[in-house]
Structure 1
Amino acid sequence: MSSSLRRGALAAAVTVLTIAPLSACGAGSDAQTLEIKPDNAAVSVGDIKIQNVTVVTQPDLKAKGPAVVTGKLFNNGRRDQTLRAIRLPGTHADVTLSPAKGSGPVVVPAGGSIVLGGEGNPSAVVEDGREAAKDGDAQPIVFDFSSTGDVALRAFVVPAKGYFAEWGPEVAASTSAGPSTSPSGGEGGGSESGSESIAPGEHSPGE
């Protein structure tokens, strides 16, 4: 075999070996690319999309008191949806929902989004939070919406320390007790789709 033919055969073999792993990564339901998951809890069901869900407990492991559920809820539909309830399966915990201002239901506006937890936002307070959720667990959570129904996922349980300090139970409990001075749009205190509300795990534009 001439040297030119040998070089051509070698180049072809290298090309085949290069393409094969790439094809394996991109083909089939067990593709390696499909095994890559985001590092925060997220799910989409119908018109509802939920991102960056966490359960934030008291900062002190020995402290008793409520926890909170935080996250960002999107409604891609044409009608408002009410968040009727949040449940923590496997526990007896009650979750109290409160809008950002006053009283009434927590509503995710059509074509918009809201952030749960943090100052000036609707809140989801878990009574007896330390007993209901343990730090480090992946806690099952079910969000019950007026039209979509149940949307289930698992979320990490973290203490209100460091980054999560401002999302902790004390903040949510204080904002749910009365009107907030922070502006919010949409029925029930929901933020409109053009708002700059940031949920835990997100970054503000330009970062």
Structure 2
Amino acid sequence: MSSSLRRGALAATALVLSIATLSACAAGNDSQTLEVKPDNAATAVGDIKLQNMTVITQPDMGAGPAVITGQVFNNGKDAQELQSIKVVGQGTTIKLSPAQGSGPLMVPAHGSVLLGGKGNASAVLPDRQGLNDGGQVQLAFGFKTTGEVRISAFVYPAKSYFKEWGPSEAPSAPATTPSGKPSTPAGKPSGAPSMKPSGTPQGKQTPSAPAHQ
């Protein structure tokens, strides 16, 4: 091999090594792809896995109930009963209801239960006390067999994407009538009745149209 061909081969090898080194650096620990993280964490204890848990409150910081949404997976061979959900640090009782009928909320073997939304199981807090939109809370799920499983959940108002998953609106206050001034019954005009018939005033006659000659 001539010296010119040998120098060309060495240069090509050096270029390939340089490209490989740069590619390795781009895919290293500082790679942007490693910075992508899910919005909601998932956690698993034994056969139970919790995923995408979110607390949804009334829109516009309104008072009223809040709900928990997310999915509960059971990878075991036996069904498990979800007995309770608690907001860690609070004594609030959360009402659990299955998707159909009444009774305990069961997670089927090798299956899952979706919390929140029309036609699904529900977990309802009576009010939003201590829940701040945009913040995070710790939820403790109590299972009869697995025991307690904790997960962090974001708190969002029932707007935009979360509107269809949010709680029922808080009941509005009933309309009240000022004391001592009852409303007028329907079909009866208010005020003093008129003493004059409608049409021509009393004591006056309307002249007839002149006859044509």
Q: TM-score, normalised by structure 2?
A: 0.69
Q: Percent identical across equivalent pairs?
A: 51
In structure 1, what is the Cα distance between the partners aligned to 2:100 and 2:17?
Answer: 67
SS of residue matched to 1:86: strand
Greater CA radius of gyration, 1 or 2?
2
The question of 1:40 aligning with 2:45 is answered: no
1:179 — aligned with what? none
Using the TM superposition, name which of 36-45 and 67-76 deviates more: 36-45
CA spacing shift, 1:31–1:151, aligned 2, 3 Å: farther
SS of residue matched to 2:50: strand
Report deviation, 1:21.
Answer: 4.2
In structure 2, what is the Cα distance between the partners aligned to 1:36 and 1:44?
Answer: 21
Q: TM-score, normalised by structure 1?
A: 0.70
SS of residue matched to 1:2: helix
CA contact (8 A) 2:74 2:112 kept: yes
1:117 — aligned with what? 116
CA contact (8 A) 1:81 1:110 kept: yes
Match of 2:134 among 133, 136, 141: 136
Spell out, residue by residue over 1:47-78, the C-alpha distance to the aligned partner (whole angstroms, 9 max, x if none). Answer: 112222110101131x2111011111111110
Equivalent position amino acid for 2:148 in 1: D
1:49 — aligned with what? 49
Equivalent position amino acid for 2:117 in 1: G
In structure 1, what is the Cα distance between the partners aligned to 2:84 and 2:34?
Answer: 31
CA contact (8 A) 2:138 2:151 kept: yes
CA contact (8 A) 1:48 1:148 kept: yes
CA RMSD of aligned residues (A): 2.3
Equivalent position amino acid for 2:124 in 1: V
Greater relative contact order, per chain length (Cα 8 Å cut-off, separation 6+): 1
Report deviation, 1:20.
Answer: 4.2
Q: Which runs of 5+ in 1 are unaligned?
A: 172-207
CA contact (8 A) 2:50 2:151 kept: no
Q: Which runs of 5+ in 2 are unaligned?
A: 1-5, 170-213
SS of residue matched to 2:168: helix
In structure 1, what is the Cα distance between the partners aligned to 2:84 and 2:63?
Answer: 23
Match of 1:12 among 17, 20, 33: 17
1:108 — aligned with what? 107
CA contact (8 A) 1:70 1:117 kept: yes
Report deviation, 1:116.
Answer: 0.8
Report deviation, 1:33.
Answer: 6.4
CA contact (8 A) 2:57 2:157 kept: yes
In structure 2, what is the Cα distance between the partners aligned to 1:83 and 1:125?
Answer: 14
CA spacing shift, 1:10–1:162, aligned 2, 3 Å: closer
